[in-house]
Chains A and B, each alone.
Chain A
Amino acid sequence: MRVTDGNAIAGLLGEVFGGEMTAVVGVCAACGSGGRLAEMRVRLDAPGIVARCARCLEILLVIVERRGIRCVDLSGFAALDQPAPFSDGPGG
């Protein structure tokens, strides 16, 4: 099984949420840590797509497709925040 990260599902997240999501900060409901969605640990073959917290490995997000309908479970997040525009400078 291969573990990748949230960068690999940028397209899928964009499709589900309607915008760029990998720089969004998600707060884990289990451990309370916050991180960019790009940093989630992701399995593409789970079945469906399963994304876990990089710190505590609890499940944050599950996306499965059934008969052409996407089912999205976000219950692992305590919050999803769109931060200020991603700084490209040191300290960002």
Chain B
Amino acid sequence: MAGTALRGRLNWRLGTVVGLEYESPAAKSITLDLPDWRGHRAGQHVDVRLTAADGYQAQRSYSIASAPEDARVMLTVERLDDGEVSPYLVDDLRIGDELEVRGPVGGYFVWDAGSPGPVLLIAGGSGVVPFRSMLRHRVAAQSTVPVRLLYSARSQRTLIYRDELTRMAGRNAIDIRITLTREEAQDWRGYRGRITRGFLDRTGWPASDGPLVYVCGPTGFVETAADALVSLGHEPSNIRTERFGGAET
């Protein structure tokens, strides 16, 4: 599939909303029926375009949350209160609505299960979305590459895919470590605090293992994590980053 998914003209097409589910109070998963979808690679995006009654158009790029092997394309969108597109997608979209999308796009922040490992995934907030695609892809492709996900969220309430990640964790060399940055809950048994150099040193793969590292989250989060990784000896060419302007975690 690699290399072929992007050939040909990039056209807008209509998808039908067939599933809607809140993942957290601010994030919703949108499942689309897209006729003639040519498949995608884990980590790729689609563009979504909205057109107002007066013809004004706004478009944004969203990571695909589903695996290439999944039957339908799923996006998970976090509401940005001053956003032009996300409030509509999270609050107003209904089952049966049609949505203009084009894609898949992107050839940089992608992972194929045939790649050698280990793989370190570092997510801030809704930066975990493309990693759901990669983790599901790894399971579906029966890859044995060791994968570790470090996921930073503000609180248990804002955790996305909590149940699914819990089911995946600890099986088949998938290691998932969640840290909460703003919650003092007594019942939380995971990590606390931000993803710092020290946290990465304790919980990430050592640079000597040569992991392929993916970092996705708000801009400040990604800069901090990428700088820390380089200072720990990771090769910059093994670190792939994706920044979105969402809320800081």
Interface residues in chain A, defined as those with a beta carbon under 8 Å from any beta carbon in chain B: 1-12, 14-15, 18-20, 22-23, 36-39, 41, 44, 85-86, 88-92
Residue B219 is within 8 A (CB to CB) of chain A in the complex: yes
Instruction: Collect the chain B residues with CB atoms within 8 Å of residue A39's CB.
Output: 241
Instruction: Collect the chain B residues with CB atoms within 8 Å of residue A11's CB.
Output: 10, 45-47, 59, 61, 102-103, 105
> Which of A15, A86, A89 lies in contact with B108, CB distance below 8 A?
A86
Contact (Cβ within 8 A) B108 A88: no
Determine the distance from Cα of A79 to Cα of B112 in the docked complex, in whole angstroms. 29
A8 and chain B: residue at smallest CB distance: B61
Contact (Cβ within 8 A) A23 B237: no
Interface size class on chain B is 35 or more
> Which of A1, A8, A22, A90 lies in contact with B211, CB distance below 8 A?
A90
Instruction: Collect the chain A residues with CB atoms within 8 Å of residue B59's CB.
Output: 11
Residue B235 is within 8 A (CB to CB) of chain A in the complex: yes
> Which of B9, B60, B109, B238 lies in contact with A38, CB distance below 8 A?
B109
Determine the distance from Cα of A9 to Cα of B244 in the docked complex, in whole angstroms. 11
Instruction: Collect the chain A residues with CB atoms within 8 Å of residue B60's CB.
Output: 8, 44
20 A-B residue pairs with Cβ-Cβ distance under 8 Å, sorted by A, are A2-B246, A4-B243, A5-B219, A6-B108, A7-B45, A7-B108, A8-B61, A11-B45, A11-B47, A12-B47, A20-B106, A20-B107, A23-B107, A39-B241, A41-B243, A85-B3, A88-B112, A88-B212, A90-B238, A92-B238
Determine the distance from Cα of A67 to Cα of B198 in the docked complex, in whole angstroms. 52
Instruction: Collect the chain A residues with CB atoms within 8 Å of residue B107's CB.
Output: 10, 20, 22-23, 86
Determine the distance from Cα of A41 to Cα of B116 in the docked complex, in whole angstroms. 29
B235 and chain A: residue at smallest CB distance: A91
Residue B186 is within 8 A (CB to CB) of chain A in the complex: no
> Which of B109, B212, B240 lies in contact with A89, CB distance below 8 A?
B212
Residue B190 is within 8 A (CB to CB) of chain A in the complex: no
- Tell me, rounded to whole Å, the shortest Cβ–Cβ distance linking B61 to chain A: 5
> Which of A2, A10, A91 lies in contact with B45, CB distance below 8 A?
A10
Instruction: Collect the chain A residues with CB atoms within 8 Å of residue B3's CB.
Output: 85
Contact (Cβ within 8 A) A89 B115: yes
Contact (Cβ within 8 A) A90 B45: no
Instruction: Collect the chain A residues with CB atoms within 8 Å of residue B211's CB.
Output: 90
- Tell me, rounded to whole Å, the shortest Cβ–Cβ distance linking A60 to chain B: 16
